[in-house]
Every structure is written in structure tokens, then in C-alpha cells.
């Protein structure tokens, strides 16, 4: 008689009712029912394969482009930051990066290796997974200009390899095969001078610090720039710079940032987002599109 095959054990960490305020750059957000930190891609596949088919599923990196409402999240959060964290040099100027690696670390790594083209990533305060999902960019660069291929995983834990050409990519917009999440990417870069690239990174970080409220909790740019214009210009022209609701404020340093003054709720921030959208639309006839992902329940509802 053959012995039954034993199911492999999970190696990651599962937390219950985990406050999302600990995992978002705005420092707000109610609890996630389940919060899973996978040990690696193999462990993540095993965890996903064991989930119920109807389980609500959310993927979170550094939480830097995310507003979790005060009522929290029903379902499971997959936490990639610090977990899917491998970066490795391949051949011909190619670098493989897992989705939990911070964009800033990718910029430093590439500069140290003398690979040019990734310097702009030092100004993106998120992970590669998030940057891939929205084609994040700054300082004139965009993530998908570097992408050669991708590794994705569906909710059943099946891993696939895909070419960049399988995705439709635009300004802060990416559309591809449904029901798959990015777990790694291969970037293609050009050869450059390491010292010069490291200096370029330093200068870009200085520019970011000078123009953005990096010392206050924020989620980066809140609105997409409308074609031919800048969201920050429209917001400032509408007289909204410095506007406060509760403990949330339109930054006095950069009008397309909303900062947590200390003790803000997610409701404060979401209300301020709506005020900005309404006022800009009324005064300028421009419907600003929110760049921040908003998830969760407005009120605590547990059963």
C-alpha cells in the first residue's frame, strides 16, 4: 500500500486582523482579515493554491500608492515588499527583479553594475510590482520602457512567463491577461559609467526632496497629469494648496500631494481627494483622474 503524499507546508507568515496603517505610506487604514507574507515565489504559489476560489485577494508592496479605508479589508492581502525581494544580474545588460524589490533599490543596483536607463526609478517610492501595474514614472522615465519580459502568477498559483508585447501600455495604464499578478520582471538596460550613474541618482533624489514633501506621510502623486497640463498646476490655481480636512492636507510644497499631518483617517484623505476633484472640475472644467488605488470598507464591518 502506497503512503499518502504529504502536502508541502507553508513557510510564510499569516497574520490576522493586521492593521494596514502599518503597511501604507499614508499611515492610515483599517485591518486586513488575512495578511500573508510569502517566503518566496514557490511558497506564494502554494498559498494561493490553497485559497478558496471566491476569496477576495489584494496585492500590496510598500503601500505607497494605496489608500485603505478605515473599515479595513475583507479577504486576503499578499504582502510582497521585503519578501519577493531578489534581484540578479543576467547577461547582455539584463536584470531580473522580483516584484517586492523597491524601485529605489533597482536604481542603485543598476547604477552599481554600470547599467543605464533605470536612474528615474530612484524617485518612485514603491516596489517593482506596483511600478509594473501602473507604468509608474518620474523625471521623464517610465517603467515599461525597460521591460523585456515578465513572470506572472494567477490566483491558483500557476506561474507564467510573458513577453512585454502581450501588454497594452500607456501613461499610468497597463492592460494585459486578466487574473494575473506580476511576481518578477526582466529589464533590459544599456551600458554606462557606474560612477556617473550613481551621481545621477544622487542628483535626482535631491530634486525629489526639494520639490516633494518627503518628510511627511504621503502616497506620491494623487492625480494623473491631464494631457498637456499638470495636476499640481490646476490644483494650485484652484486655490487648494494647503486645504485641510481633518488631519489631511493638500501639501504646501507640492499641490499634487496629500499629506497626513498626524492622526489623519482614511476618510479625511478620501474626502480631500473628492474636494480637489470637484473644485478643479468646477473651476477649470478638467476631471482629474485619481492615480491612487482606493480599497477596503468605509466602516468597520466584521462578521
Catalytic positions are: 172, 221, 291
CA distance 11 to 175: 32
Question: What does each C-alpha distance from 249 to 20, 241, 297 come to in angstroms?
Answer: 21, 8, 22
Q: What is the DSSP letter of 247?
A: T
Burial (CB count within 10 angstroms: exposed 0-12, middle 13-18, buried 19+), residue 188: middle
210: its cell numbers: 526639494
Question: What does each C-alpha distance from 25 to 44, 61, 128, 217 come to in angstroms?
Answer: 24, 10, 16, 6
Q: Phi, psi (5° rounding) for residue 10? A: -70, 145
The SS3 assignment for 174 reads strand
- Report angle CA 156, 160, 164 to the nearest 5 degrees: 135
CA distance 123 to 112: 17
- Residue whose cell numbers read 557606474: 194
CA distance 76 to 252: 36
Burial (CB count within 10 angstroms: exposed 0-12, middle 13-18, buried 19+), residue 98: buried
Amino acid at each position: 500500500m502506497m503512503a499518502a503524499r504529504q502536502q508541502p507546508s507553508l513557510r510564510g507568515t499569516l497574520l490576522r486582523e493586521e492593521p494596514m496603517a502599518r503597511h501604507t505610506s499614508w499611515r492610515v487604514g483599517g485591518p486586513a482579515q488575512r495578511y500573508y507574507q510569502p517566503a518566496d515565489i514557490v511558497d506564494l504559489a502554494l498559498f494561493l493554491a490553497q485559497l478558496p476560489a471566491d476569496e477576495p485577494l489584494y496585492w500590496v508592496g510598500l503601500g505607497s500608492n494605496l489608500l485603505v479605508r478605515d473599515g479595513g479589508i475583507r479577504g486576503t492581502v499578499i504582502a510582497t515588499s521585503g519578501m519577493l525581494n531578489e534581484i540578479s544580474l543576467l547577461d547582455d545588460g539584463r536584470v531580473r527583479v522580483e516584484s517586492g524589490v523597491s524601485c529605489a533599490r533597482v536604481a542603485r543596483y543598476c547604477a552599481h553594475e554600470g547599467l543605464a536607463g533605470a536612474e528615474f526609478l530612484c524617485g518612485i517610492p514603491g516596489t517593482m510590482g506596483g511600478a509594473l501595474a501602473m507604468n509608474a514614472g518620474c523625471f521623464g522615465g517610465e517603467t515599461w520602457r525597460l521591460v523585456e519580459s515578465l513572470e506572472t502568477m494567477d490566483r491558483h498559483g500557476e506561474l507564467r512567463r510573458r513577453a512585454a508585447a502581450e501588454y497594452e501600455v500607456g501613461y499610468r495604464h497597463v492592460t494585459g491577461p486578466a487574473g494575473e499578478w506580476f511576481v518578477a520582471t526582466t529589464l533590459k538596460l544599456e551600458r554606462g559609467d557606474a560612477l556617473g550613474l550613481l551621481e545621477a541618482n544622487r542628483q535626482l533624489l535631491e530634486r525629489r526632496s526639494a520639490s516633494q514633501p518627503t518628510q511627511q506621510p504621503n502616497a506620491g502623486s494623487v492625480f494623473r497629469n491631464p494631457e498637456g497640463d499638470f495636476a499640481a498646476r490646476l490644483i494650485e490655481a484652484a486655490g487648494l494648496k494647503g486645504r485641510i480636512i481633518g488631519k489631511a492636507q493638500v501639501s504646501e510644497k507640492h499641490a499634487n500631494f496629500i499629506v497626513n499631518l498626524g492622526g489623519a483617517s482614511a476618510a479625511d484623505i478620501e474626502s480631500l481627494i473628492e474636494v480637489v476633484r470637484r473644485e478643479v472640475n468646477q473651476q477649470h472644467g478638467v476631471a482629474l483622474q485619481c492615480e491612487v488605488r482606493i480599497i477596503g470598507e468605509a466602516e468597520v464591518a466584521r462578521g
